[in-house]
A and B are shown apart, each in its own frame.
Chain A
Amino acid sequence: MAAIVSRLERASTRAAPRRATADSPALKWTLLTLALGFLLVFLVLPLVAVFAEALRRGVGAYLEAFQDPDTFAAIRLTLIVAASVVPLNLLFGVAAAWAIAKYEFKGKALLTTFIDLPFAVSPVIAGLIYVLIFSAHGWFPPEAQQVLFKPFAAASGWLASQPGFLWLDPLAYWFEQPKIIFHTTGIVFATIFVTFPFVARELIPLMQAQGKDEEYAAVTLGASGWQTFRRVTLPNVKWGLFYGVILCNARAMGEFGAVAVVSGKIRGETTTMPLHIEILYNEYLFVSAFAVASLLALLALVTLVLKSAIEWAHSRRHA
């Protein structure tokens, strides 16, 4: 009896609840401080610096920076590149993820490895590859392109001359006078290379985890291939897909190295925002440089907010 009482007493006087991981609080706080300090020095401070520098001479000077036609052209080009690259990589990413997750075929491991290639290769190399292939002294110079694209030029030219197809005219013109290096096309190519893992990488593990049973179920219930994709596969991966797209978009707008090599940095023509920032900075136009930089930083913040929103919506749905 006495033993029980004393044990009860001991139990009630014990201060902190016992935990399975008995690490000391000191270690916990050291790690936390380290992580937060690192974050502050390497991420938060630079971000704050960008906005501080951009607004150093006041809001008027900040807004004036955007009046420059070259800045405007850079923003426009960046949007055009992103608008071309993201849909193409969306298509490619879905196709690749579908093939890898749902089918068995030879060379699957190889394809999976190749999708990761852009993560492993320096973007500058990616740009150089395109220069090596498509420049005037490359393997596939503009003269050869012109010959090869002749039939396409004829076909698209004819199509553009039909009523309602006038919008195809630029395409026909491009096929006639193909320009890749030092041109928007080259920038798009290089950006595709750099950003193509994003959508596929996001979808592959998701689709693999979900397996094929739902698709099989849809098929036995009489759904066609397209119905199965649209009504079963796509809704199941929509959050992952959206996530992949915003990451792909952020990278497409921010890419510097690969684009720098293929663009030739023709001011007002082939400079995207990151390239334009560098030019402004090198010309000591700090306010303008940081003003444009603040736009890219803003894009990063929007991306992060969207990403968190998606994760939140997703976890709520599957709670």
Chain B
Amino acid sequence: MSVIARNITKTFGAYTALADVSLEVPTGKLVALLGPSGSGKTTLLRIIAGLEFADPGSGRIDFHGQDVTDTPAGRRGVGFVFQHYALFRHMTVAQNIAFGLTVRPRKERPPQAKIDARVKELLKLIQLEDLGGRYPSQLSGGQRQRVALARALAVDPKVLLLDEPFGALDARVRKDLRRWLRHFQREIGVTTIFVTHDQEEALELADEVVVMNNAKIEQVGTPQEVYDQPASPFVIEFLGNVNRFAALGHPLPGAGGDALYVRPHDVDIQRDYKGEHGIRVRIEHVFSAGNYGRLALVRTDNHETIDAEISRARLAELGLRAGEEAWVVFRHIRLFPAEGKFTERDVVADDAAPAVADPGRGI
């Protein structure tokens, strides 16, 4: 079931939550709406669910070619999972899961035996077979979230919508549940849209990432695309750590007043450098716990800070200590013309990006 949202505008008083946003989600895909708080991602999800409605006269929502713009939430066939689970606290897990089936009009309601069978099947799916009689307050966060998911799935939704599904869980449970959700979505193949502010989560989980900012969509693409070919300074800054420079201080084509971005893992450090693209830095701090060696550097010319990430082997080979000086060379630079001049994606200087490549090293 594909989902298409067209020209959605939503305002709350003077505040614009969504400004003429359009989005297309193909059937069976797992799509992430990614953005900082206040970017409009949750509002968009709620409009797709039918829990909010776009401003009168604006926009249209289609589910598989069928206009559902004015259809109330209960008849859209969506499953919605809330950030804080929103389980019915006075009902058992089994009653929670059965709820969607038991509120159907008498004629459409399956017989009790069928409802029970469905609940059992879903309990098995979420690996909580023995906990059907518990109350939500007796479950852990991860278990509650799975019950919320089972409850949404019980009515066979055509579209599954999840609002910050892992936001309230601790890091470890989040990781497990993320993997489980991914596996499970592939298996049942239901079109799924989830909202997150966690870029790692979006990149790891989604087939497609929709990056939102300031009531607008900044970029839509696969995780690889949005990470490697960011369409705007916002996207590159939001997805992962990045160093931003106003100028490099050495010749670079078209770099006057532009913003330059370098990912920490594109920063190479050398003790001696003879080329023309090196920048002299002092080492502030070395973090060597973790998969990479991370260094906090300060430019000696203008005291800008630079974050660098190099392999531990390389770190050991260089033997750098805080307080020492060294050269850095950027392997890959992304360049965006100064703000104001920025126009859509043709200025994304992907071809200009490796303008400064270290001639000496070919990593």
Contact = CB atoms under 8 A, between A and B. Distances in A.
Interface of A: 213-214, 216-224, 227, 231-232, 235-236, 318
Nearest to A222: B74
Interface residues of B, number: 27
Contact of B103 (A213, A214, A231): A231
Contacts of B86: 213-214, 216-217
A222 B75 contact: yes
Contacts of A222: 74-75, 100, 103-104, 155
A221 B99 contact: yes
Contacts of B148: 217
B13 to A, nearest CB: 10
Contacts of B82: 213, 216-217
A89 B49 CA distance: 36
A221 B103 contact: yes
B73 A224 contact: no
Interface string B83-99: 01011111000000001
Given A213-B84, A223-B74, A218 B49 contact: no
Contacts of A219: 51, 72-74
Contacts of A235: 88, 90
B103 A223 contact: yes
B79 interface: yes
Contacts of A224: 74, 103
A232 B50 CA distance: 19
A114 to B, nearest CB: 24
Contacts of B50: 220
A105 B79 CA distance: 29
Interface in B53-91: 72-75, 78-80, 82, 84, 86-90
23 contacts: A213-B84, A213-B86, A214-B88, A216-B86, A217-B82, A217-B86, A217-B151, A219-B51, A220-B49, A220-B51, A220-B73, A221-B74, A221-B151, A221-B152, A221-B155, A222-B74, A222-B100, A222-B103, A222-B104, A223-B74, A223-B103, A231-B99, A236-B89
Closest 6 CB pairs of A and B: A213-B86, A221-B100, A222-B74, A223-B103, A220-B80, A217-B86
Interface in B117-170: 137, 148, 151-152, 154-155
B51 A232 contact: no
B98 to A, nearest CB: 10
A318 B138 CA distance: 9
Interface string B33-46: 00000000000000
A223 B90 CA distance: 17
A217 B75 CA distance: 13
Nearest to B82: A213
B298 to A, nearest CB: 44
Nearest to B95: A231
A109 to B, nearest CB: 16
Contacts of A221: 74, 99-100, 103, 151-152, 154-155
Contacts of A220: 49-51, 73-74, 78-80, 152
Contacts of B99: 218, 221, 223, 231
Nearest to B104: A222
Contact of A218 (B75, B103, B137, B154): B103
Given A213-B82, A216-B82, A219-B73, A227 B103 contact: yes
Nearest to A232: B88
Contacts of A217: 80, 82, 86-88, 148, 151
Contacts of B75: 222
Contacts of A218: 88, 99, 103
Residue of B50, B99, B151, B154 contacting most chain A CB atoms (<10 Å): B99
A226 B117 CA distance: 27
Nearest to B13: A104
Given A220-B152, A236-B89, 17 more contacts: A213-B82, A213-B86, A216-B51, A216-B86, A217-B80, A217-B82, A217-B87, A218-B99, A219-B51, A219-B72, A220-B51, A223-B99, A223-B103, A224-B74, A231-B103, A235-B90, A318-B137
A215 to B, nearest CB: 9
Nearest to A104: B12
Nearest to A238: B90
Contacts of B79: 220
Contacts of B137: 318
Contacts of B73: 216, 219-220
B52 to A, nearest CB: 10
B80 A216 contact: yes
Contacts of B103: 218, 221-224, 227, 231
Interface string B320-348: 00000000000000000000000000000
Nearest to B86: A213
A197 B89 CA distance: 27
Nearest to A319: B137
B191 to A, nearest CB: 15
Residue of A217, A219, A318 contacting most chain B CB atoms (<10 Å): A217
A242 to B, nearest CB: 14
Contacts of B51: 216, 219-220
A318 to B, nearest CB: 6
Nearest to A223: B103
A72 to B, nearest CB: 43
A216 B155 CA distance: 15
A238 to B, nearest CB: 8
Contacts of B84: 213
A216 to B, nearest CB: 5
A223 B109 CA distance: 12
A217 B85 CA distance: 9
Nearest to B154: A221
Nearest to A215: B86
A318 B135 CA distance: 10
Contacts of B89: 214, 236
Nearest to B148: A217
A216 B72 CA distance: 12
